[in-house]
């Protein structure tokens, strides 16, 4: 009897139903039993959490997709005219704005009143891709690296607090009725938030402003920067077509700077180590490109030069290996 | 407004962040290790209930185990003190197993004393921590459930040892209790994660206890039969 149970999920129940007759009371799920009552509450809590996680994963996926599009757009700058570049930058700027205002605002709303670290895994992929896009955009604009704080500031949003006594849970409904989380979530606001709400409320007397944000962890930031070098490498190889040697050398310097910094971090984080490997390969590739351009630049016609550098004709196998290892993001 | 920092500044900042992070983690690790040692001591004390003579003096053993929780509370306070506000989940992995173990210990003691399922409220009382996240250091629901699953494995062991110690009524009560626990867990919609995997093992505990009940029943060792015999 008890031994024949198969391994399917329902097995224990079957086993119980033909259990010993004197113990029939175990078989019936007693609705009023304190254990069952407690578990009903646990079920509710777990479902709420899983739903939130799932929504964040979806939002993160959208962020990844949109950020990738921005990066592709920016890659098209190479070889274009100044006018073309400005147009592309403008378009990219609009798109990045849209990601912030649309997707990240929703993420921030989901995370409002939560410990952001609890849900970090749900949106970290999107965040890294977004950081890559933003830093790439900034680099095109003025050859600088956007710092962590700037990105964090862009992901802070203000929001009106309800002026009456109603609790915070009703508030996002007004802001964004589409969000389902609000139906379930009626936890009290973090004391800190309500305090800040309160104070600004007294200041304005009409409506209070609350800041919500999507946390950008330093680790996500640095991993996003590591991804950026992959894009810089592609940009460098493409830019050879225009024969702009200065730009190539400049890109190479930039990569070297990032590379040196990564080396100095040491073997702290597995992800960092993995990215460093890819980064080293990209750097090698760009350095070889610089070398080739330097030594052969005057000998080979420009249109062939690009082919040489991207490894289509010369030293094929070596370069092709690198091509395959290119940090094509998953 | 936004200061344009140079690339090297950015990386220096990050390196500082890494160093600080590492120090903090080291600090947490040391404190968690102390707690784990105390938890092991408590577990060792509780193991006595599996001895034939220990099963009869449950309450004495529980009292002895409970006295150790003073140390746990002190050590937990020390741990909580080093965690930055609102970053519980950043370091969650460091104390996840520890808290599961503590839930198991408290739940096991509570069962031995009152034969009821421990609530999160009483756990937070024993450990002097909070119930919900908003109040501060708390027990994650999934960790709490993990602790309960650990307890059911321990109870299936106890059912067997109770028989050896000639305590034939206890397995019946354990069977009822764990059966109810199992129905409770089946109410949950678990994701395909570690909790789900651990829950999958619960059915083997249930099965083992049922086998004990079966063995007792067919041999006429069930307490009900005993009572009848004495009446006759």
Mutation for testing the B interface, residue in A46, A192, A196 having most B CBs under 10 Å: A46
Q: Which residues pair with B67 in a beta bridge?
A: none
pLDDT of the residue at B86? 83
What are the CA-CA distances from residue A80 to residues A85, A89, A308 (Å)?
6, 12, 21
B114 lies in the same domain as B210 = no
B82 lies in the same domain as B148 = no
Domain that holds residue A118: 35-162+206-216
B40 lies in the same domain as B131 = yes
Shortest CA distance from B200: residue in chain A: A9
Q: Which residues pair with A160 in a beta bridge?
A: A209
A212 lies in the same domain as A235 = no
The upper half-sphere exposure of residue A113, i.e. CA atoms within 13 Å in the direction of its Cβ, equals 23
Three-class DSSP labels, B74-98: HHHHHHHHHCCCCCHHHCHHHHHHH
Shortest CA distance from B225: residue in chain A: A22
Q: Are the CB atoms for A147 and A173 separated by under 8 Å?
A: no
Share the mean pLDDT of chain A. Answer: 74
Is the Cβ pair A145, B189 closer than 8 Å?
A: no
User: In this structure, what are the phi and psi dihedrals at residue A32, rounded to the nearest 5 degrees?
Assistant: -90, -5
B128 lies in the same domain as B17 = yes
Q: Is residue A267 part of a domain?
A: yes
Give the SS3 label for residue A314. coil
Q: Are the CB atoms for A168 and A113 separated by under 8 Å?
A: yes
pLDDT at residue A82 is higher than 90: no
Give A166→chain B minimum CA distance, Å.
Answer: 19
Is the Cβ pair A36, B92 closer than 8 Å?
A: no
Tell me how long chain B is.
Answer: 232
Is the Cβ pair A26, B179 closer than 8 Å?
A: yes
Residues of A in contact with B206 (CB under 8 A): 12, 15-16
Q: How many CB pairs under 8 A join A and B?
A: 145
Domain that holds residue B77: 1-139
A139 lies in the same domain as A243 = no
Q: What is the pLDDT of residues B97-109, one digit of tens each?
A: 999 999 999 999 9
A118 lies in the same domain as A95 = yes
pLDDT of the residue at B229? 45
Q: What is the pLDDT of residues A117-171, one digit of tens each?
A: 999 999 999 999 999 999 999 999 888 888 888 999 999 888 775 544 444 443 3
pLDDT of the residue at A161? 59
pLDDT of the residue at A297? 64
Shortest CA distance from B205: residue in chain A: A12
The CATH number linked to A292 is 1.20.58.200
Is the Cβ pair B210, A190 closer than 8 Å?
A: no
Mean per-residue pLDDT for A233-242? 83
B123 lies in the same domain as B188 = no
pLDDT of the residue at B224? 59
pLDDT of the residue at A24? 44
A285 lies in the same domain as A148 = no
pLDDT at residue B232 is higher than 60: no
Is the Cβ pair A35, B87 closer than 8 Å?
A: no
B93 lies in the same domain as B165 = no
Mean per-residue pLDDT for A300-318? 54
pLDDT of the residue at B195? 93
Query: How many domains are there within chain B?
Result: 2
d(CA A151, CA A132): 11
B111 lies in the same domain as B152 = no
Tell me the residue ranges of DSSP E strands in A147-198: 156-161
Mean per-residue pLDDT for B103-122? 94
Shortest CA distance from B144: residue in chain A: A42
Is the Cβ pair B214, A20 closer than 8 Å?
A: yes
Mean per-residue pLDDT for A253-277? 87
d(CA A161, CA A318): 60
Residue A261 vs residue A174, higher pLDDT: A261
Is the Cβ pair B188, A20 closer than 8 Å?
A: no
Is the Cβ pair A261, B187 closer than 8 Å?
A: no
Q: B20: which DSSP letter?
A: H
Q: What is the pLDDT of residues B7-66, one digit of tens each?
A: 888 888 898 998 999 999 999 999 999 999 999 999 999 999 999 888 888 899 999 999
User: Where residue A299 falls among pLDDT bands split at 50, 70, 90?
Assistant: low
Residue B117 vs residue A83, higher pLDDT: B117
d(CA A97, CA A221): 18
A212 lies in the same domain as A244 = no
Among B139, B171, B197, residue at a domain's last position: B139
Q: Among A2, A26, A30, select the one facing B211 at the smallest CB separation.
A: A2
The CATH number linked to B121 is 1.20.58.190
Give B184→chain A minimum CA distance, Å.
Answer: 5
d(CA B162, CA B50): 7
Share the mean pLDDT of chain B. Answer: 89
* Token pair for B158: 């106890």
Give B224→chain A minimum CA distance, Å.
Answer: 9
pLDDT of the residue at A306? 62
pLDDT at residue A291 is higher than 90: no
Give B202→chain A minimum CA distance, Å.
Answer: 9
pLDDT of the residue at A305? 63
d(CA A21, CA B12): 72
User: Where residue A204 falls among pLDDT bands split at 50, 70, 90?
Assistant: very low
Residues of B in contact with A187 (CB under 8 A): 132, 134
Residues of A in contact with B175 (CB under 8 A): 23, 26
The CATH number linked to B192 is 1.20.58.200
B53 lies in the same domain as B156 = no
pLDDT at residue A5 is higher than 90: no
Among A173, A193, A216, residue at a domain's last position: A216
Q: What is the pLDDT of residues B69-91, one digit of tens each?
A: 999 999 999 999 999 988 899 99
The upper half-sphere exposure of residue A287, i.e. CA atoms within 13 Å in the direction of its Cβ, equals 11
d(CA A117, CA A128): 15
Q: Is residue A313 part of a domain?
A: yes
Among B86, B112, B139, residue at a domain's last position: B139
Query: How many domains are there within chain A?
Result: 2
Q: Is residue A185 part of a domain?
A: no
Shortest CA distance from B224: residue in chain A: A22
Shortest CA distance from B132: residue in chain A: A187
The CATH number linked to A61 is 1.20.58.190
pLDDT at residue B226 is higher than 90: no
Listing DSSP states for A87-155 in one string gives HHHHHHHHHHHHIIIIIIHHHHHHHTTS-GGGGHHHHHHHHHHHHHHHHHHHHHHHS-PPPHHHHHHHT
**Quick one: which of A305, A291, A272 has its CA closest to A79?**
A305
A157 lies in the same domain as A238 = no
Q: Is residue A293 part of a domain?
A: yes
A257 lies in the same domain as A278 = yes
A122 lies in the same domain as A256 = no
A266 lies in the same domain as A212 = no
Mean per-residue pLDDT for A216-222? 92
* Token pair for A208: 């209070």
Residues of A in contact with B183 (CB under 8 A): 29, 35-36, 39
Is the Cβ pair B202, A12 closer than 8 Å?
A: yes
d(CA A21, CA A4): 18
What are the CA-CA distances from residue A243 to residues A232, A236, A248, A289, B177 (Å)?
16, 11, 9, 12, 78
């Amino acid at each position: 009897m008890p031994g024949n149970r198969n391994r399917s999920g329902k097995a224990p129940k079957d086993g119980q139903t033909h259990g010993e007759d004197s113990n029939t009371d175990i078989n019936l799920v007693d609705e009023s039993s304190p254990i069952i009552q407690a578990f009903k509450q646990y079920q509710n809590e777990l479902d709420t959490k899983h739903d939130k996680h799932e929504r964040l994963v979806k939002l993160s996926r959208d962020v990844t997709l949109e950020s990738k599009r921005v990066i592709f757009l920016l890659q098209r700058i190479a070889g274009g005219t100044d006018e073309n570049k400005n147009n592309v930058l403008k378009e990219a700027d609009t798109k990045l704005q849209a990601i912030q205002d649309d997707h990240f605002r929703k993420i921030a709303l989901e995370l409002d009143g939560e410990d952001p670290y609890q849900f970090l895994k749900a949106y970290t992929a999107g965040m890294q891709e977004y950081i890559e896009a933003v830093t790439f955009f900034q680099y095109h604009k003025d050859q600088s690296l956007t710092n962590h704080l700037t990105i964090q500031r862009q992901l802070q949003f203000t929001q009106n607090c309800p002026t009456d006594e109603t609790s915070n849970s009703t508030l996002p409904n007004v802001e964004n009725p589409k969000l389902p989380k609000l139906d379930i979530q009626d936890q009290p606001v973090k004391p800190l938030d309500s305090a800040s709400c309160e104070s600004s409320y007294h200041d304005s007397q009409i409506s209070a402003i609350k800041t919500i944000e999507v946390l950008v962890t330093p680790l996500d930031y640095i991993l996003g920067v590591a991804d950026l070098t992959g894009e810089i490498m592609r940009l460098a190889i493409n830019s050879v077509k225009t024969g702009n040697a200065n730009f190539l050398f400049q890109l190479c310097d930039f990569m070297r700077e990032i590379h040196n910094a990564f080396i100095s971090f040491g073997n702290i984080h597995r992800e960092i180590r993995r990215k460093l490997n890819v980064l080293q390969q990209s750097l090698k590739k760009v350095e070889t490109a610089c070398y080739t351009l330097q030594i052969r630049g005057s000998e080979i016609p420009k249109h062939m030069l690009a082919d040489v550098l991207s490894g289509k004709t010369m030293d094929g196998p070596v370069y092709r290996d690198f091509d395959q290892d290119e940090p094509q993001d998953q | 407004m936004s200061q344009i920092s140079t690339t090297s500044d950015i990386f220096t900042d990050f390196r500082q962040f890494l160093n600080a992070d590492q120090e903090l983690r080291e600090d947490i690790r040391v404190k968690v290790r102390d707690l784990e040692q105390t938890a092991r001591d408590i577990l060792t004390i509780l193991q006595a209930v599996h001895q034939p003579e220990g099963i009869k003096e449950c309450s004495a053993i529980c009292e002895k185990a409970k006295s150790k929780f003073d140390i746990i509370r002190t050590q937990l306070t020390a741990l909580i003190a080093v965690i930055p506000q609102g970053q519980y989940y950043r370091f969650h992995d460091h104390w996840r197993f520890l808290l599961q173990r503590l839930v198991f210990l408290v739940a096991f003691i509570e069962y031995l004393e009152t034969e009821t399922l421990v609530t999160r409220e009483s756990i937070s009382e024993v450990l002097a921590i909070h119930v919900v996240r908003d109040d501060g250091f708390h027990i994650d629901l999934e960790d709490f459930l993990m602790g309960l699953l650990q307890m059911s494995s321990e109870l299936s062991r106890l059912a067997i040892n109770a028989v050896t110690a000639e305590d034939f009524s206890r397995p019946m009560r354990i069977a009822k209790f764990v059966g109810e626990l199992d129905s409770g867990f089946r109410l949950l919609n678990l994701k395909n994660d570690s909790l789900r995997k651990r829950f999958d093992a619960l059915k083997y505990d249930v099965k083992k206890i049922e086998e004990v009940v079966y063995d007792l029943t067919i041999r006429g060792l069930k307490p009900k039969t005993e009572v009848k015999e004495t009446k006759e």
